[in-house]
Amino acid sequence: MADQIIAISGTLGATPTQKADATLLERIQSWVATVDHKRLGILYVVYSIFFLLVGGAEAICLRIQLAFPDNHFLEPGVFNRFFTMHGTTMVFLVGMPILFGFANYLIPLMIGARDMAFPRLNAFSFWLTAFGGLLLYFSFIGGFGLYGMGSAPDVGWFAYAPLTARAFSPGHSTDYWALALIVSGFGTLGTAINIIATILSMRCKGMTLLRMPLFAWLMLVVSGLTLITITPLTAAQIMLLIDRYLGGHFFDTQAGGSAVVWIHFFWIFGHPEVYVLVMPAFAIANEIIPVFSRKAIFGYPAMVGASICIAFVSVSVWAHHMFTVGMTSVSNAFFTLSTMLVGIPTGIKIFNWLATMWGGKIRFATPMLFCTAFLFQFLIAGLTGIMLSVSPLDWQLHNSYFVIAHFHYVLVGAVVLCIFAAIYYWYPKATGRMLSETLGKWHFWLFIIGFHITFDTMHFLGILGMPRSIYTYEPDRGWNTLNMIISIGGVIQGIAVLIFAYNLVWAYFRGRPAGNDPWDAWTLEWSTSSPPPEYNFATEPVVGSRRPLWDLKHPEDPDWRYEQ
Amino acid sequence: MGQRMKRRNMGKSKSVRALLGIGMFVGWLQTCFAADDSPKAAPINIFSPSSTPAIEISHLAVFVFCITGVVFAVVAGLLVLVIFRYRARKQDDPSEPPQVYGSNQIELAWTVIPVLIVVVLFLATARVIFAIQDAPKPASALDVTVTGHQFWWEFRYPKLGIVTANELHVPVSDPNHPTPTYLKLMSADVDHSFWVPELAGKTDLIPNRVNELWIDPLRTGVYLGQCAQFCGMEHAKMLIRVYVDTPDGFASWVNNQRQIGNQDSAAQAGRHVFETQSCINCHTVSGTVATGRFGPDLTHLMSRSTIASGIALNNEKNLHDWIKDPDHFKRGCLMPAMQLSDEQIDGIVAYLSTLR
């Protein structure tokens, strides 16, 4: 019983962060040279939000081009560059870094540690990721190589061989793409190792693996999955560069190489990557939904088990991106089945979230609004995923706007909505100020309306035979009105994101002071001051259950009495 | 208890209304689309199939849509119910609700039900996969070799000795005496994908690899499709037109295509320009010195209704504009502007116009 005594420290002992009168240069230096997990986490998030705006602007340009048939807003080459950069940016410079940013900031706080296991590796990983992004965007200036030859990469974010061979992609744009992803990939691997080491060895007294917040659990699973997924991508990029510069023939079909091998490599990375992106979204929902429903998470062990199960199954489904490359009927059947199986643990998660909300007293503050919308969008995303796993149906819908709609439902409807939720939820912890609820609700409603106008409509275009990656279409194809609707929805989402960006800046200076625990939450990060001191906790906390602050607030009804 | 029942009913009626709203939105979208119809070509739709593989797929799709639709209605209904029934209200007392940590029986229940749904879906899918992919090829099948190029399609009929481009002609298939067409898919450069939604699902054309696809169109007409795998700058302008002819119509088309290029002396001047410029390095006109294979075969150019892979109608003005500057229609296509004078181009167009 000794470890069930609640002793949360840090709350009373914490002194506010020293704000010495530093010069601007000293302040910049303190951010560049920092190894503090919280500062690195903020750097990750700020960096990703910057690229979210860039990638979003690219998407708006794409939608303006497609709003009308035979439009000339973007040249074909520029359109191809923009959709390549939009995809690459959103996956590698927004999705992964922002989720790792949250992990960086929150995991030590949630498990009662003072920093990550390897603080300097942490800083190194961030700067690798950051310079990877800059390298990718430098291609707009430096990618020419030969006069008139491309600038930014224009081979699609999937970069199917042999379009990436020097014969079809002269100049240096494809090299920038490969090198930038290798560099940021090493940064990602470093962070993943760091997260695993931190979670396994830095937990505070009393925090057994089954008492960890689900956020930490999911990040542990995601980091393990990252080690599996990023390595084949990095290997494939190196093979591609060998092909391009050292006379290799891995993907060189003119010399007996195989285009299909690239597709395998890419999707062995690419599909688990989807789960690398979406499981942190689950992690965020796992923290926010219970707090705003005022109930403990329903079925904690089932949630942990489902997450591990998803990670395992997700490495055996990659070829569902390849139903059209001419696999045998048996392979097609196998990957249909394995893909459908992912739906089962994912369904368990959705049901557990619903059961958590069931019987609660749900407070619909902005973070919870985003999480509720996430449940709805993710349900649809999962069901269209089941449709696409049906390989004969995929023969029709693959590479059509239906697929675009499906994965934007996952990546925007699940991942981006949870990112917004997380920012509204933890911004007070990181800055000490609340974001505006009024602006938050404007942001939420505009974004959701825009989202549905855009992505619901895209499903219909796929059914009407519009393929992805086309820069224009003829006016007699019957796609005009729907494309116009999609573009209008895109602009509405753009406005919502600008409101969000304004809210972030406004609240930093004018927001209401948050206090330590503005949401009346239960995990350890809310026991320390906002923003937390550099050392996080004055003394190491000791926890006795999954919700240490619940135990503290409800000594008459503590959790440790009920947890198995 | 009575009050409790009342509250539950309220939640349900709201969820029903939300669903109705979604249905109306979908209906509204469909009317938007219907207003878009232009008389030229009926827009394609995977749910108006005309060939066995596409019909099988659309039946399976309806089945899958129904099952996923029911799942959606149940889960989304629960979500809406939870939102309205358990939202915090001002009159609520500030105490925390009862804490529930989980239940193994419930977890088991909502694991088993999805497993059953997956089994049903998988069996239905597997049947269609094998029915389409492993269908035996009848002796009466027509063979066509399709080669994808940046950014056009080459069609060869090996048993008939025909070579053409961008417009595929196949005979209609009578279900009692099926004459399906088997397409052998290859690529000369990068990955492409052959997609004519109303005839079959798509299959990729991958260099160094041979894929297969079959269709057995049950109705005559023109079917539109296009490349569905990003293949470079002009991927968007790589359209496919499939002409499904009556058996007689197909026989006379074949008969015409098997002739060598027109040797009429009417357009000698233009023919001279054509044969003394670089045109012949890339294009073939059978029976002449033009034997290039990088570009489309022009032997019966005038039998096609479009040029540049379905982007422009095949008429004298468009041919002129195309030869003068291919970028005018298709910026980034691989045919260069040859810097010819207008007289030279007029001559070439006059010559091409004789290639019926």
Instruction: Please give the Cα distance from A331 to A336 (Å, whole number).
Output: 8
CB of A210 within 8 Å of a chain B CB? The answer is: no
Amino acid B266: pLDDT: 80
Amino acid A151: pLDDT: 81
Disruptive mutation site among A65, A71, A214, A324 for chain B (greatest number of B CBs within 10 Å):
A324
- Look up residue A157 and give its amino acid: W
Beta bridge pairs of residue B87:
A362
First to last CA, chain B: 84
Which residues on A lie below 8 Å from B86 (Cβ)?
Answer: 293, 357-362
Instruction: Please give the Cα distance from A379 to B252 (Å, whole number).
Output: 54
Amino acid B10: pLDDT: 40
Instruction: Please give the Cα distance from B185 to A356 (Å, whole number).
Output: 52
The answer to whether the CB atoms of A163 and B231 lie below 8 A apart is: yes
Chain B residue with the nearest C-alpha to that of A394? B201
The answer to whether the CB atoms of B86 and A362 lie below 8 A apart is: yes
> What CATH class has A2-12+34-561?
mainly alpha
Chain A residue with the nearest C-alpha to that of B74? A379
Chain segment A137-180, per-residue pLDDT in tens:
998 887 775 555 558 899 999 999 899 999 998 888 899 999 99
CB of B215 within 8 Å of a chain A CB? The answer is: no
E strands present in chain B: 142-149, 152-157, 162-165, 167-171, 181-187, 192-195, 203-205, 211-215, 221-227, 239-245, 306-307, 312-313
Amino acid A145: pLDDT: 59
In the stretch 323-342 of chain B, residues with CB closer than 8 A to chain A read 331-332
Q: Where in chain B is the domain with CATH 2.60.40.420?
A: 268-352
Chain segment A504-519, per-residue pLDDT in tens:
999 999 999 999 999 9
Instruction: Please give the Cα distance from A254 to A250 (Å, whole number).
Output: 11
Chain A residue with the nearest C-alpha to that of B128? A392
Among the partner residues A298, A390, A399, nearest to B100 by beta-carbon distance: A298
**pLDDT of A564 above 60:** no
List % helix, strand, coil for chain A (3-state, nearest 5): 70, 0, 30
Chain segment A98-149, per-residue pLDDT in tens:
999 999 999 999 999 999 999 999 999 999 999 999 999 998 887 775 555 5
pTM of the model as a whole: 0.91
- Please tell me whether the peptide bond between A518 and the residue prior to it is cis, using omega within 30 degrees of 0: no
Q: Which residues contact A536 (CB under 8 A, 6 or more apart)?
A: A10, A38, A108, A109, A112, A113, A114, A115, A528
Instruction: Please give the Cα distance from A405 to A391 (Å, whole number).
Output: 18
First to last CA, chain A: 14
Instruction: Please give the Cα distance from B51 to B5 (Å, whole number).
Output: 53
Among the partner residues B44, B122, B133, nearest to A336 by beta-carbon distance: B122
Amino acid A19: pLDDT: 54
Query: Buried b vs exposed e over B262-301: b needs ≥16 C-beta within 10 Å?
Result: beeeebeebbebbeeeebbebbbbbebebeeeebbbbbbb
Amino acid B12: pLDDT: 41
**pLDDT of A16 above 80:** no
Chain B residue with the nearest C-alpha to that of A486? B29
Q: Quote ipTM for the complex.
A: 0.90
CB of A556 within 8 Å of a chain B CB? The answer is: no
3 state SS of B47 = coil
The mean of the pLDDT values for chain A is 91
Return the residue matching tokens 């004018």.
Answer: A510
Tell me what percent of the residues of chain A surpass a pLDDT of 70: 95
Instruction: Please give the Cα distance from B90 to A158 (Å, whole number).
Output: 51
Instruction: Please give the Cα distance from A459 to B227 (Å, whole number).
Output: 19
Chain B residue with the nearest C-alpha to that of A156? B230
Q: Which among A45, A318, A312, A313 is positioned nearest to A158, based on CA atoms?
A: A318
> Hey, where are the domains in chain A?
2-12+34-561
Q: Which residues contact B204 (CB under 8 A, 6 or more apart)?
A: A324, A325, A326, B185, B191, B192, B193, B194, B211, B229
CB of A502 within 8 Å of a chain B CB? The answer is: no
Instruction: Please give the Cα distance from B227 to B147 (Å, whole number).
Output: 12
- What sign does the dihedral B256-B261-B264-B269 (CA atoms) show? positive
Chain A residue with the nearest C-alpha to that of B204? A325
∠ CA A310-A311-A316, nearest 5°, is: 90
The answer to whether the CB atoms of A301 and B54 lie below 8 A apart is: no
Instruction: Please give the Cα distance from A493 to A377 (Å, whole number).
Output: 15
Distance from CA of A238 to the nearest CA of B (A): 20
Please give the DSSP secondary-structure letter assigned to residue A521.
Answer: -
Spans of chain B, pLDDT less than 50: 1-19, 28-40
> CATH assignment of B268-352, given 3.40.1380.10, 3.80.30.10, 2.60.40.420, 3.40.50.1820?
2.60.40.420
Tally Cβ neighbours within 10 Å of residue B8. 12
3 state SS of B39 = coil
CB of A300 within 8 Å of a chain B CB? The answer is: yes
Query: Which pLDDT band, with edges at 50, 70 and 90, does A22 fall under?
Result: confident
Mean pLDDT for A411-427 is 96
Mean pLDDT for A183-199 is 95
Amino acid A148: pLDDT: 54
Distance from CA of A538 to the nearest CA of B (A): 30
Which residues on A lie below 8 Å from B24 (Cβ)?
Answer: none
Amino acid A149: pLDDT: 54
Chain segment A374-400, per-residue pLDDT in tens:
999 999 999 999 999 999 999 999 999
The answer to whether the CB atoms of B78 and A354 lie below 8 A apart is: yes
Q: Which residues contact A308 (CB under 8 A, 6 or more apart)?
A: A221
Which residues on A lie below 8 Å from B41 (Cβ)?
Answer: 476-477
Amino acid B350: pLDDT: 93
Question: Tokens for A288?
Answer: 């926010």
Query: Which pLDDT band, with edges at 50, 70 and 90, does A12 fall under?
Result: very low
Query: Which pLDDT band, with edges at 50, 70 and 90, does A183 fall under?
Result: very high
Amino acid B262: pLDDT: 82
